[in-house]
Structure 1
């Protein structure tokens, strides 16, 4: 097994002791990319949940590309939201990035997110 740190300047730099993504390749050649939760800190001050979700998904896409993958490789997503009343708006934007064979997913309401954002999304992609 080999482990590679994936980084792109097209998404926010980590704000703690973690990486944007870690790519693991097994001896049989399968590759999994674990993308850390992405937020839209570039949009501060925050307020438009659809614009925030769009930016988060663009950040995820930039990291996927840096790992030589794209949204079609995503098999699992986790969405953390500050207010579940924003679920429909978040889901609408999120859905634009997947056309078929949608990934498995959960959406969880949380009390607070880093930098007081409203949405954070992480994904796992396989090639």
Structure 2
């Protein structure tokens, strides 16, 4: 019975921003700090042109010849507040954040080979496609488009990418 209660508690904290607190780490059994360091062949990317990571991960990792960009949300890099104008504002801002990270890695938007888009509502597919097409122009990277139950900070849109450096 106690084990079930702990499992329920862990499940509840995993889906909130509290999953990044020490308390949640202890619940997940990760209270001992790892001695793992980033391999010298990899380069962690951090730029002020996109919001800082909200957890224990990098904005991107360069592993030549690729850069793997973490999910970008529609938050202003300077204030970390959600973009104005609802879904459209979030999509525009997330794409600008993606561009900032890709360029900080030494790459460019035209070298993105794959994106994954996460949305709160698949009914927004048409609206997002218009903004996405405007952003990428003639460049058409491979893409996955997935509806999810919830995104960090209750965002409506998130995009991650892989590009050539």
TM-score scaled by length of structure 1: 0.89
CA distance in 2, matches of 1:20, 1:4: 11
Matching residue of 1:35? 69
More strand by proportion, 1 or 2?
Answer: 1
Report the Cα distance in structure 2 between the residues aligned to 1:21 and 1:89, rounded to whole angstroms: 27
Once the 2 structures are TM-superposed, how far is the Cα of residue 70 of structure 1 from its aligned partner?
1.2
- Pairing 1:28-107 to 2, within 5 Å after superposition: 31-42=65-76, 43-44=81-82, 48-107=86-145
The SS at the match of 1:2 is coil
- Between Structure 1 and Structure 2, the one with more helix by share is 2
Structure possessing the higher radius of gyration over alpha carbons:
2
| Shift of residue 110, structure 1, vs aligned partner | 0.5
Structure-2 separation of matches of 1:52 and 1:44 = 7
Residue 28 of structure 1 corresponds to which residue in structure 2?
Answer: none
Q: How much has 1:101 moved relative to structure 2?
A: 4.0
Distance 1:113 1:47, change over 3 A: farther
1 CA distance for matches of 2:123 and 2:87?
11
In the alignment, structure 1 segments of 5+ residues that lack a partner are 26-30
Q: Which moved more, 1:65-74 or 1:41-50?
A: 41-50
Q: Please list every run of 5 or more consecutive structure 2 residues that lacks an aligned counterpart in the other structure.
A: 1-39
Q: Residues of 1 paired with 2:161 and 2:95: CA distance?
A: 10
Which of 1 and 2 has higher RCO (CA within 8 Å, sep 6+)?
1
The answer to whether the aligner puts 1:6 opposite 2:54 as a matched pair is no
1:102 and 1:40 map into 2 onto residues whose CA distance is 21
Q: Output the CA distance in 2 between the equivalents of 1:92 and 1:32.
A: 27
**Moved runs in structure 1, 4+ residues, more than 3 A?**
none
- Matched residues, number: 122
TM-superposed deviation, 1:46: 6.1
Contact 1:46 1:117 in 2 (8 A): no
User: What are the superposed Cα offsets for residues 45-66 of structure 1, whole Å, 9 maximum, x if unpaired?
Assistant: 7662111100000000000110
